[in-house]
Amino acid sequence: WVSWSWTYLLMLWFLLIMFLIWFLRAPLRLHENIDQLGFFMNSLTPKFYVALTGTSSVISGIILVFEWWYFHKNGNSLIEQLALTYVAPFIGGIDLPEKPAQSECKVWR
């Protein structure tokens, strides 16, 4: 039931946004803004794309190193843990099982 309601809500939101864009197309001067966007995109140099790629790679590397450190420290992924804790309840997520208490370990000889 919840997933259907989210689907309908998102469809309604999308239709509302499309209607607003259509209704406000003249006041927003969409045609002129799209022409300016095309001019801007054509004026970007290769140096910009190199800088963008380099910055993205550095950020990805930092995230990878932090994830590796967090996994070795805690035994699970930080991103997975955040997704299960904060995102899953909103989309009808799973119930996390409680960890059983460790019993005393006996060695038989």
Task: Compute CA 108 distance to the chain's CA centroid, rounded to the nearest angstrom.
Answer: 50
Predicted pLDDT at 53: 96
What percentage of the chain has pLDDT greater than the value 70?
81
Closest by Cα among 94, 93, 91, 89 to 6: 91
Averaged pLDDT for residues 45-51? 93
Share of the chain above pLDDT 90, in %: 35
Q: Is the pLDDT of residue 75 over 90?
A: no
C-alpha distances (whole Å) from 89 to each of 83, 94, 96 are 9, 8, 11
Whether 36 has a pLDDT exceeding 60, the answer reads: yes
Average pLDDT of the segment spanning 52-66? 96
Residue 54 pLDDT grade (very low, low, confident, very high; cuts 50, 70, 90): very high
